[in-house]
Structure 1
Amino acid sequence: MNTINIKGNLLNLESPIVMGILNLTPDSFYSNSRINNVNQLVEQAGLMLEEGATIIDLGAYSTRPGALEVSEKEEIERIVPAVKAIISAFPKAIISVDTFRAEVANITVNEGASIINDVSGGNLDDNLLKTVAKLKVPYVLMHMRGTPQNMASLTNYEDIISDMLQYFNEKIDYLNSLGVYDIMLDPGFGFAKTTDQNFEVLRSLEAFNCLNLPVLVGFSRKSMITKTLNISAHEALNGTTALNMVALQKNAKILRVHDVLEAKQCIDLYKKLI
């Protein structure tokens, strides 16, 4: 299935698209992605849309390994003004909210957000998936174990691809039972996976095609690149682009990135190959 219903309009994913990342957190692992004020936020969102982003992904809770806990109140105070500002400036913008909390999802969708992007697969808030069903919005289902605080220690798998397929099948069945069908799958690169496991998942990315749902990938400037190449996140754009091209060749439909222009160029070049 390569379409998702966004507020009554079908978004066609036959041709891959870009999701641009805007972080509203002071401790995001990539410092250049941090937004300090509303004016900067609107300016950056506008630039991303101009460069070719189809979706703007807003996050107010850092999910990097070992990230500090953020209260629900603080998350709401960070993200609601951001949603309002972008919708005010760009009424047709498709905003995804990166949250695992039902109340944050409920408030932001009512303010104009269109998609819920949940790193936890509904495991960190029992009400999240039911709230998504009630809101009738598309949902990004990611694979993760544990929490951002402890996930780095939860990397023992009998067979990582088989385990992930079982996880996704169970979650999809439950979401469908709630009436949620507009689902995107995120393998969760960097979440409860070692560097070698991240590359194993990328190597086997076609395995998820059997689930018949669009796959979103997010390696942008992550440690699977920086640790492999012994570089900083600031130096990891080239590595990000290289892995994005591999993912496109393995049928990924959404590239979640900090650098929109380069990802869009990657897609344009990939389309010349098919």
Structure 2
Amino acid sequence: MSFAPRTAFDWRLRTRTLTLGPRTLLMGILNVTPDSFSDGGDFASTEAARDQALRLLDEGADILDVGGESTRPGATPLAPEEEQTRVLPVIAAILKARPEAILSIDTFHAATARLAVEAGAEIVNDVSGFTWDAAMPATCASLNCGVVLMHTRGKPNEWATQSPIPPIGVMPIILTGLRDSILAARTAGVPSDRIVLDPGFGFGKRGAENYIIHALLPQLHQFGLPILSGTSRKGFLRTTIAPFHAGSPPAANSEASLRATSASTVAAILAGAHILRVHDVRPAAEAAAIADAILAAGTLVGGAIATFTRNTPATPQ
């Protein structure tokens, strides 16, 4: 197997531009929620969230993704006003401490997106791909911010009862959904160079369905847009390694979960992901360094082979 170089992109944000492709960028997860699946309540206060943000930045995070509403399976919907009460003070505290920090707001509420960007966030990360709030496409267009469009199948309170997806149908569902999200963004006036795509591991996909996404991730390149992968601490990874842990999936924040995440991280990068959304930044940075070196070596050798092929006469028959 050979590894092709990632396509390079300039991702335009609200006030700056990020170059994607030469190396993997890391989006550190900062949940200021009491009920997120692996770190709920850990950073619920503004001070705790600020301190964790600074740790993630010091460990190598290129972006911080601040979220105030859990989207774990079965999560209870939250009023936008409560979400804003959680995230806006944290955004202000982070930017006061690190004015140069690049912040993303993890929300599907247009009202929260607007206030967060006006407070200094550069990116809106919408897990619904512009499908849960009709005002979101026009809001992001007017804010001139970067956007992450993620594919979601159904809503958190529906995931437990959804029918399985036939293996052959997993990627068509995702590709169709992302195509619709891109169309909604462009129709509202969001330029292509502000868009990153996320296939939505675990969001309405269960178990082995997520490994199909992993295996077929290169199919997302057909859109000609950068790719974000978010598998950090996901249940499908922990279930896979359960046989090594007396048959029970290890805890989400365990060392075993971290190792599984690192394996997934490398696979996603070699498939062409430009950005990784992770809880544990330093281990992800180390894994990304290895995967990036493999991509660089593949590019170098691939170029040398192409030059050799062009300059070598065909073998006489």
Match of 1:226 among 238, 241, 250: 238
Question: Structure 1 residues 74 and 258 mapped into 2: Cα distance closer, same or farther (>3 Å)?
Answer: same
Shift in Å, 1:7: 2.8
Match of 1:238 among 256, 259, 270: 259
TM-score of the superposed pair, with normalisation by structure 1 = 0.96
Matches within 5 A, 1:1-274: 2-14=9-21, 15-31=23-39, 34-157=42-165, 159-180=169-190, 181=192, 182-230=194-242, 231-235=250-254, 236-273=257-294, 274=296
Q: Distance in 2 between matches of 1:106 and 1:7?
A: 12
Rg (Cα) greater in structure: 2
Instruction: Extract unaligned runs of 5+ from structure 2.
Output: 1-7, 243-249, 297-317
Cross-structure match for 2:4: none
Q: Distance in 1 between matches of 2:159 and 2:108?
A: 15
The answer to whether the Cα contact below 8 Å between 2:35 and 2:41 also exists between their aligned partners in 1 is no
Shift in Å, 1:106: 0.6
Deviation sequence 1:140-198 (CA, Å, 0-9, x none): 10011221221333354461111211221222122112221211111111111011100
Identity %: 37
Deviation sequence 1:184-232 (CA, Å, 0-9, x none): 1111111110111001110100110111111111111110111222222
Tell me the SS of whatever aligns to 2:221. Answer: helix
Give the aligned CA root-mean-square deviation in angstroms.
1.5
Tell me the SS of whatever aligns to 2:17. Answer: strand
Instruction: Extract unaligned runs of 5+ from structure 1.
Output: none
Corresponding residue pairs, total = 274
Q: Distance in 2 between matches of 1:8 and 1:46?
A: 21
Question: Structure 1 residues 111 and 33 mapped into 2: Cα distance closer, same or farther (>3 Å)?
Answer: same
Deviation sequence 1:32-78 (CA, Å, 0-9, x none): 78303222222111111111100000010000101122111111110
Q: Distance in 1 between matches of 2:119 and 2:144?
A: 14
